[in-house]
């Protein structure tokens, strides 16, 4: 997918600029980037009624988990029993099937207002752990899917070496695992060649402190220098207890001791942290990604978003297992979960929520023209103040999505994928056949 060449003029009824929504904003777009912003402008060019905000970014995705949506939990189900269903889905996919499924999932993200996705990718090999003839075939499938759906992608090739502390991979986990950390690094170096510096970025991930032995953590961190690095962190109390028993440290403490944390690192979930963990994440400059709809779907708990923000930790958002794909709901949940946990309102302002959900907290000159326009006259948004639309709107209120100036969604319809809902139904049925 290429940038829209040439120049385009957009007139926004309301646009979220530094300081908040502003009426009557003219945007000049040249070769996919915003080159000029004029406020108080008369209508000209293409008119965007409603509220236009910076492109929304899904910072944590496992595309194949989408096949588990709509399958009700059984009594006493937990994260660990849910995981068994996830393994069954993982066992059914090959590169072609994964590309088709991911294309439809990414199209759903675009329809919901995402302009970019960060894919935490660990389904690497054929059944039994045998490498494909093309050892990065599954990575290519995801890059091709994002391109077909019109999204930017940050592909995080994930290191996964163990089933738990001192336990080798077993069953479907063999599809996730490389022989050792050096084999992972060799394959990840091939994946890095997919990085075009624009629509596709390549980084790495440590699946968890359970799945990557302590001796390998530093190797992954060193390979990743200059690239984004993500890690699942303290999603479950059992992970914390096992790490403490194995190493005498919390997962945060272990990652810190091995040089994993830092400004290029994002810790995902961070649900069960100690006050010391919060201080360590803040000191190191590590970012934290919450996935509220998945965390509540799996019964993970409510993470300390407010405490992290007060400590100076930057927050971002993802949809993880895609129990819901609605970035507005993820943004709103960040605030609403704080209200439930602490009995106070507005820990996070709408501007704070946009900063967590978007690539930047406002539309500014010099950035890619990744833009989302929300309808402010639907049954959900009618009567909302411009700065309160984010607290009222849902993904159904997304009217237009542009990525690099190119229209991906118009009038609520995907312009590149003809029938994403039918595609999802077909591919999910095939996975469960």
Which residues are part of the catalytic machinery? 269, 320
The residue with tokens 């099937």 is 97
Name residues whose C-beta falls within 8 Å of residue 179's C-beta, 6 or more positions apart in sequence: none
Q: How far is CA 195 from CA 131, 189, 264, 342, 432, in A?
A: 21, 11, 17, 43, 33
Structure tokens at 205: 């991930």
CB 62 within 8 Å of CB 320: yes
Annotate the chain with three-state secondary structure: CCCCCCEEEEEEEEEEECCEEEEEEEEEEECCEEEEEEECCCCCCEEEEEEEEECEEEEEECHHHHHHCCCCCCCCCCHHHHHHHHHHHHCCCCHHHHHHHHHHHHHHHHHHCEEEEEEEECCCCCHHHCCCCCCCHHHHHHHHHHHHHCCEEEEEEEECCCCECCECCCCCHHHHCCCCHHHHHHHHHHHHHHCCCCCEEEEEEECCCCCCCHHHHHHHHHHCCCCCEEEEECCCHHHHHHHHHHHCCCHHHHHHHCCCCCCCEEEEECCCCCHHHHHHHHHHCCEEEECHHHHHHCCCCCCCHHHHHHHCCCEEECCECCCCCCHHHHHHHHHHHHHHHHCCCCCCCHHHHHHHHECCCCCCCCCECCEEEECCCCCCCCCCCHHHHHHHCCHHHEEEEEECCEEEEECCEECCCCCHHHHHHHHHHHHHC
For 213, what's the count of Cα atoms within 13 Å in the CB-facing half-sphere? 14
Taking CA 164 as the corner, what is the angle to CA 167 and CA 431, rounded to the nearest 5 degrees?
A: 105
Beta bridge partners of 10: 27, 46
CB 420 within 8 Å of CB 56: no
Per DSSP bridges, beta strands 114-121 and 406-410 are: unpaired
């Amino acid at each position: 997918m290429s940038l829209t060449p040439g120049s385009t003029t957009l007139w926004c009824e309301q646009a979220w600029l530094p300081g908040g929504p502003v009426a009557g904003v003219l945007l000049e777009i040249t070769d996919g980037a915003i080159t000029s912003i004029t406020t108080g402008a008369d209508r000209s060019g293409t008119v965007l009624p409603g509220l236009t905000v910076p492109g929304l970014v899904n910072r944590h995705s496992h595309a194949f988990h989408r096949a588990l949506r709509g399958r009700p939990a059984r009594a006493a189900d937990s994260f660990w029993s849910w995981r068994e269903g996830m393994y069954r889905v993982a066992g059914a996919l090959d590169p072609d099937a994964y590309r088709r499924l991911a294309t439809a999932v990414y199209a759903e993200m675009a329809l919901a207002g995402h302009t970019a996705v960060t894919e935490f990718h660990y389904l690497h090999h054929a059944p039994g752990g045998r490498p494909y003839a093309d050892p990065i075939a599954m990575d290519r499938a995801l890059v091709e899917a994002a391109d077909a759906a019109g999204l930017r992608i940050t592909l995080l090739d994930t290191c996964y070496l163990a089933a738990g502390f001192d336990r080798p991979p077993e069953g479907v986990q063999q599809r996730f695992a490389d022989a050792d950390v050096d084999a992972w690094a060799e394959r990840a170096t091939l994946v890095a060649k997919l990085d075009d510096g624009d629509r596709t970025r390549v980084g790495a991930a440590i699946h968890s402190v359970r799945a990557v032995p302590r001796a390998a953590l530093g190797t992954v961190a060193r390979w990743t220098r200059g690239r984004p690095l993500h890690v699942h962190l303290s999603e479950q109390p059992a992970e914390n207890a096992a790490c403490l028993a194995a190493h005498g440290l919390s997962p945060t403490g272990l990652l810190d001791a091995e040089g994993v944390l830092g400004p290029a690192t994002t810790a995902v979930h961070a649900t069960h942290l100690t006050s010391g963990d919060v201080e360590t994440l803040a000191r190191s400059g590590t970012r934290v990604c919450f996935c509220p709809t998945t965390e509540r779907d799996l019964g993970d708990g409510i993470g300390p978003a407010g405490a992290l923000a007060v400590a100076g930790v930057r927050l971002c958002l993802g949809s993880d297992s895609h129990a819901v794909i609605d970035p507005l709901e993820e943004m709103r949940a960040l605030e609403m979960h704080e209200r439930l946990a602490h009995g106070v309102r507005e820990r996070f302002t709408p501007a704070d929520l946009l900063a967590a959900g978007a690539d930047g907290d406002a539309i500014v000159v010099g950035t890619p023209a990744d833009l989302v326009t929300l309808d402010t006259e639907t049954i959900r948004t009618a009567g909302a103040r411009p700065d309160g639309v984010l607290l009222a709107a849902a993904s159904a209120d997304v009217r237009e999505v542009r990525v690099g100036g190119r229209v991906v969604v118009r009038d609520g319809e995907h312009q590149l994928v003809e029938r994403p809902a039918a595609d999802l139904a077909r591919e999910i049925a095939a996975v469960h056949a």
